[in-house]
Structure 1
C-alpha cells in the first residue's frame, strides 16, 4: 500500500487534520508545529490529541511527518536568531511527545557566509543540546537544494552532521525530490545511482520519509521551486519510479506541491493508481 499524505493546517487541531487526511484518502500527513514563519505554538489540547490518536489507529495511519518553521536557523550568524531557533527546537521536541513515535523534519539551516564547516558544527552542537535520551521522536534532516548558503545540499553535509550528533539512533533523513533534483542529483535518469550514493554516504536505513514534489527548475538549478506532480522538470514517470522503488515504497510520502484540498485529492488518487501493489 502506498503511504501518502500532504501538508495540512494545524490551526484546527490534530483530530481535524486526521479527518481531512481521511477525506483525501491519505494515511499520513505533515503539519507545521507552529506558524511556518515562527512564533509561539498553539497550546496542545490533550482531549484533541487523545481523540486523534484513536482516530489514527482506527484508520491505520502511519508515521506523521511534522515540520519545523522555516525561520528555525540553527547556524545563523546572529546570536538572537540562533537562540530563537534553540527555543523553538527544544519546545517542539517536547511537544512532539504528545503524539509519540513520529517524525520531526527540519531544514538544517543557512550558514550565512560563515562557511559550511562552521554551519555543520553549529547544527550538530544544537541538536546535542536539545535532543534527549527518552524522546520517542525521530529527528529528520531534510535534503536541500543548495541555494545560497544552505547546509544540506549535498549528502556529505548531512553525513557530517550525523557524525557529530550523540543520539544517532534518534536521527534520520527526509529526502525531498525537488530539492535533490535542484541540488544536482539526477533522479530522472539515474534514480538507482542517486540512491546508491545516498546509501554509501549516509546509509539507506536512515532514510525515513520522502517529500514528493515536482520541480519548476532543471536539474542542478539550486533554486527550490516546487511544482505539481507531472507539471515540472522531474515529471510523473520519474516520480512513479520513486514511489515504486523497492528501497522507498514502504516510506511515508508527503506532497508539498502548490495545491488546495481538491488538488491534493487528485494527486493522491493519481499516485495511488500508479503504485504497484
Structure 2
C-alpha cells in the first residue's frame, strides 16, 4: 500500500487536517508545528487530539511527519538565534507528545560562515541537549540541496551529525527527492547507486520518511526549487521508481509540491495509479 500525504495547514487543528487528508485519499500528512517563519505555537486542544486519534485509527493513518519552522537554525553563528532555536525545539518536542510515536523533521541549519564542521558540532550538541530517553517522537534530519551554507548537503554531513548523537534510537533521516537531486545525487539515472551510497554511509534502516518532490532545476544545481510531480527535471518515471522501490515503498511519502488541496488530490491519484501493489 502506498502511504502518501502532503503538507496541510495546522491552523484549524488535528481533526481538520485529518479530514483534509482523507478528502484527497491520503493516509498521512505533514504540518508545521507553528508558523513556518517561527513565532508562538497555537495551544493544543486535548479534545481535538483525542477526536483526531480516533479518526486516524478509523482511517488507518500511518505515521505523521511534522515539520519544524524554517527559522530554527541550530548552528547559527549568533547566540541569540541558537537560543531561539533551542526554545522552539524543546517546545515542539513537548507538543509532539500529544500525538505520540510520530516524526519531527527539521532542516539541520546553516553555518553562516563558521564552516561545516563547526555547524555539525553545534547541531549534534543541541540534539544531545534536548533528546530524552522517554520521548516517543523520532527526530528526522532532512537531506538538503546545498544552497548557501546549508548543513546536510551530503550523506556524509548527516552521518557526521548522527555519529555525535548519544540517543541514536531517537534519530533518523527524511530524504527529500528534490533536495538530493539538486544536491547532485542522480536519482533519475542511478537510483540504485544513490541508495547504495546512502546505505553505505548512513544505513537505509535510518531512513524513516520521504519528501516526494520534483525539481525545477537540473541535477547538482543546489537551488532547492520544488516542482509538481512530473512537471520538473526529475520526472514522473523516476519518481514512480522511487515509490515502487522495494526498500522505500513502505515509507510515508509527503508531497511538498506547489499545490493546494485539489492539486495534491490529483498528484496522489496519479501516484497511486503508478504504484505497484
TM-score normalised by length of structure 1: 1.00
2:199 aligned residue: 199
2:36 aligned residue: 36
1:157 aligned residue: 157
Offset from partner CA, 1:221-253 (integer Å, 9 cap, x none): 000000000000000000000000000000000
Offset from partner CA, 1:12-64 (integer Å, 9 cap, x none): 00000000000010000000000000000000000000000000000000000
1:245 aligned residue: 245
2:130 aligned residue: 130
CA distance in 1, matches of 2:221, 2:263: 26
CA distance in 1, matches of 2:261, 2:163: 40
Q: Following superposition of structure 1 onto structure 2, how do residues 31-180 of structure 1 map, counting pairs within 5 Å? A: 31-180=31-180
Q: Following superposition of structure 1 onto structure 2, how do residues 9-20 of structure 1 map, counting pairs within 5 Å? A: 9-20=9-20
1:223 aligned residue: 223
Q: Is 1:25–2:28 an aligned residue pair?
A: no
CA distance in 2, matches of 1:42, 1:131: 22
Contiguous gaps of at least 5 residues in structure 2: none
Cα distance, 1:154 vs. partner?
0.3
2:233 aligned residue: 233
Cα distance, 1:123 vs. partner?
0.2
SS of corresponding position for 1:22:
helix
Offset from partner CA, 1:65-101 (integer Å, 9 cap, x none): 0000000000001111100000000000010000000
CA RMSD across the alignment: 0.3
Offset from partner CA, 1:113-135 (integer Å, 9 cap, x none): 00000000000000111111100
Q: Is 1:6–2:13 an aligned residue pair?
A: no
CA distance in 1, matches of 2:219, 2:54: 43
Offset from partner CA, 1:154-186 (integer Å, 9 cap, x none): 000000000000100110000000000000000
Offset from partner CA, 1:242-271 (integer Å, 9 cap, x none): 000000000000000000110000000000
CA distance in 1, matches of 2:228, 2:273: 17
- Counting matched residue pairs gives 277
SS of corresponding position for 2:172:
strand
CA distance in 2, matches of 1:169, 1:225: 32
CA distance in 1, matches of 2:161, 2:53: 32
SS of corresponding position for 1:12:
coil
SS of corresponding position for 2:11:
helix
CA distance in 2, matches of 1:62, 1:13: 18
